[in-house]
Structure 1
Amino acid sequence: MIKNVAVSDFLDLKGTVPLADVRTPAEFAHGHIPGAFNLPLFSNEERVLVGTTYKQIGREQAILLGFDLTGSKWSGFIREALEKAPDKKIAVHCWRGGMRSGAMAWALDLYGFEVYLIQGGYKSYRRWAHQQFGASRQLCLLGGMTGSAKTKILYELGKMGEQVIDLEDLAQHQGSSYGTMNKMVQPTQEQFENNLADQLKDLDRNIPTWVEDENLNIGKISVPKPFWYQMTSAMQVNLEVGLEQRIEELVGAYGSLDKDFLIACTERIHKRLGPVQTRDAIAAIREDRMADFIRLVLVYYDKTYLKSLGKKEKDKLFSISLDNDHHLENAMRILDFIKTISVNWQA
């Protein structure tokens, strides 16, 4: 049996019904619904052939070509679907809910699957995702100069049951020139947005959600504008942490990284650091004087942060001093702190 279902209704079932994305591997890699698996009807090259035939000759000839290309594949499709959905309950989608997903749904139904066919396909999911970014939320930003351990405190807040969105984790980037940590690979922009929307849908909009204060761009990834605009007008708790404590935190995070990586990243910001600072920072890296290297580049990052902080609405900016690196204790202090202030939540 084939049931047509809206993407929003399917997401309520997510986790109980496996989702087969029958688009090509290239389409899937560019962006897919979180949790979906790829069951491509056509290879990347085959899709081009079918599309060209459709445009140059016509729909019927393209359909015939599609059957020629997939003729020997159908038993493989069914076997893979059985591996993912042994109870024979599965959801299917393509780009617009057209012929590709319709053909796959027909074959699976013929075999005895209960098939949920996503109306509008992946395109409808993308529309749904963008709706999540514009939905009004009670955001609470966690700010502070580089090295304030914001991400670690955010993690502790999440463990304590607070609603948290970790944009740097979703973007797989720490937000600075050194942000890949020489190991992280960023998702595509589209996949980042899909993953963010997937997390946002499960949050209660009527209670605060903690988000680390970020630039619009995190590495090559951009925070969706509607969500970013909410961040710029949200209340912010600014962590005031001493320079030496921040240097110690950053040496622990970056001090063991490959020196060539650190030098290349430093050279990328040489115009902002200045020639003397750049030269001295690179020399410190080569001589394994990591604290000196961190101290030099923090001059630039601190200046940038203070400039950004100056643009915040004063009635939504609250500062708290932290004088230790006990992240759980600091998270608890922050929660106690916001209970003492009058919070002007965004509308």
Structure 2
Amino acid sequence: MVHKVTINELLTTHAALPIMDVRAPAEFSHGHIPGAYNLPLFTNEERAQVGITYKEQGRDAAVLLGFDITGQKWSGFIKEALNQAPGKKIAVHCWRGGMRSGAMAWALDFYGFDVYQLEGGYKTYRKHVLEQFEKAYPLQLIGGMTGSGKTLLLQALRNKGEQVVDLEDLAQHRGSSYGSMNHLMQPTQEQFENNLAQSLAKLDPNRRIWLEDESAMIGKCSIPRSFWKQMREVPLLNISIPFEQRVNTLVAEYGSLDKSFLAACTGRIWKRLGPEQTKRAVAAIQEDRMADFIREVLRYYDKTYTTGLNNRPPGSVMSVDFDHTDAAEQAAHILELIAKHEHTGN
């Protein structure tokens, strides 16, 4: 039987169902529902061919071409669906909930599947995603200069039962010129938004949500504007770590990376570093003086962070000084401070 379901029904009542995205591979790669798998009715080339036929010859000709193309594929589609949903209960969608998902739903229903077809397709899912960023969330930001160990602190807070959204993990980037770490592959902007919306949907909207203070861009991924605006307006807990401890942290994190990668990344910010500072930083990389390299670039990143900190609303920043980098101890201390602050209102 084929059931038509809304996006809210799919993501709540039927959240456990395997989701089969029948769009072309290029469409799926550009953005998809997290956790869905791709079973394309057409290849990228076939989809383009059907589209041209539809435009030039009309719907009937395009439908016939579609059946010609998929004629030998149907048993393969059904076998793959069985691999993903051996219990024969499955959700399907295409771009707008039209012919492609309709054809797949019909075939699976004919074989004996219980099929849930998404009304409006992926297009309605994207509308749902963008709506999530317009909501108000009880955000609490963790800030601090580069090398303060904010990511480890977020992990420690999560270990203590706090709700955390790790934006850098979702963006697969550490947020600086060196943020790809020479191996991370960023998702598309659309997929980043999909992943962020899913992360937010998993959380209790009545409990605070911890995030790291970020600029509007994390590598090539842009934090949705309305959500980032909210991040700029909520309280910031600013972590202060001694300079040399931050240098040591960054040497341990970046010091073993390929020298040509580090030099190239440094070259990309030479206008902001200045020619002499860039020259000294690159020389330190080449001579394996990683602490000196870190000290040179930190001057730029510290200045940039301080500027952003000063632009936040007055009274929205609480600073906490630490003389150690034990994330678990930091998290415990911060939670005590927050509890005291909430109790006294000061």
- Class of the TM-score when normalised by the shorter of the 2 chains: over 0.9
- 1:260-308 Cα offsets, whole Å, 9 max, x none, are 0000000000010011100110111111111111001000000000000
1:271 equivalenced with 2:271 (yes/no): yes
Q: Distance in 1 between matches of 2:116 and 2:155?
A: 36
- 1:103-142 superposed matches below 5 A: 103-142=103-142
Matched AA of 1:106: W
2:254 and 2:167 mapped to 1: Cα distance?
20
1:262/1:30 CA distance change after superposition, 3 Å? same
Instruction: Indicate whether 1:74 and 2:74 are aligned.
Output: yes
Could you tell me how far apart the structure 2 residues matched to 1:67 and 1:344 are? 69
The unaligned stretches of length 5 or more in structure 2 are none
Partner of 1:317: 317
* Aligned equivalents of 2:56, 2:260: Cα separation in 1: 52
Relative distance call for 1:264 and 1:14 in structure 2 (3 A) is farther
In 1: Cα distance, 2:242 partner to 2:13 partner: 48
Q: Does 1:41 align with 2:41?
A: yes
Where does the alignment leave 5 or more consecutive residues of structure 1 unmatched? none
Q: What does residue 165 of structure 1 align with?
A: 165
Seq. identity, %: 59
Query: After TM superposition, which residue ranges in structure 1, 4 or more long, deviate above 3 angstroms?
Result: 342-345
Determine the structure 1 residue equivalent to 2:304.
304
SS at the partner of 2:281? helix
2:195 pairs with 1:187: no
Q: TM-score, normalised by structure 1?
A: 0.98
Residue in structure 1 matched with residue 52 of structure 2 by the alignment: 52
Alignment of 1:186-205 (within 5 A): 186-205=186-205
Cα distance in 2 for partners of 1:235, 1:208 equals 11
Deviations 1:283-339 (A, max 9, x none): 111111111110010000000000000011122210001111111111111111112
Q: Counterparts of 1:322 and 1:93 in 2: how far apart (Å)?
A: 51
CA distance in 2, matches of 1:205, 1:173: 26
What displacement does 1:343 show? 9.4
Contact 1:235/1:343, CA 8 A, preserved across alignment: no
Amino acid in structure 2 at the alignment position of 1:338: I
SS at match of 1:101: helix
**Separation of aligned partners in 2, 1:343 and 1:14:** 41
Structure 1 residue 340: deviation in Å?
Answer: 2.3
Aligned to 1:152: 152
Q: Distance in 2 between matches of 1:335 and 1:48?
A: 55
Q: Encode CA deviations 1:49-79: one digit per residue, 9 max, x unaligned.
A: 1111111111011100100000000000000
The CA distance in 1 between the partners of 2:269 and 2:14, in whole Å, is 43
Q: In structure 2, what is the Cα distance between the partners aligned to 1:337 and 1:287?
A: 44
What amino acid sits opposite 1:308 in the alignment?
Answer: G
Q: What secondary structure is seen at the aligned counterpart in 2 of 1:237?
A: strand
The answer to whether the Cα contact below 8 Å between 1:316 and 1:344 also exists between their aligned partners in 2 is no
Give the SS at the match of 1:115.
strand
The residue type paired with residue 208 of structure 2 is P
Q: Which secondary structure does the structure 2 equivalent of 1:92 belong to?
A: strand
What's 1:220 paired with?
A: 220
Deviation at 1:14?
5.4
Alpha carbons of structure 1 residues 176 and 343: separation in structure 2 relative to 1, 3 Å = farther
Alpha-carbon distance between aligned partners in 2 of 1:97 and 1:315, rounded to the nearest angstrom = 49
CA distance in 2 between counterparts of 1:184 and 1:256 reads 15
Aligned to 1:98: 98
Give the Cα–Cα distance (whole angstroms) in 2 for the partners of residues 14 and 153 of structure 1: 35
Whole-angstrom distance in 2 between the partners of 1:343 and 1:215: 31
Q: Distance in 1 between matches of 2:343 and 2:63?
A: 60
Task: Please state how far the C-alpha of 1:344 moved relative to its aligned partner.
Answer: 12
Instruction: Please report the TM-score for the alignment, with normalisation by the length of structure 2.
Output: 0.98
* Aligned length in residues: 345
For residue 165 of structure 1, report the CA deviation from its aligned partner: 0.5
CA–CA distance in structure 1, aligned partners of residues 343 and 191 of structure 2: 33
Aligned to 1:177: 177
Cα distance in 2 for residues equivalent to 1:209 and 1:115: 36
* CA deviation map 1:192-212 (0-9, x unaligned): 000000111111122110010
SS of the residue 1:339 aligns to = helix
- Alpha carbons of 1:75 and 1:136: their partners in 2 closer, same or farther (altered >3 Å)? same
2:253 — aligned with what?
253
Root mean square deviation of aligned Cα: 1.3
In structure 2, what residue type is equivalent to 1:91? A
Report the AA paired with residue 99 of structure 1: M
| 2: CA distance, partners of 1:81 / 1:15 | 17
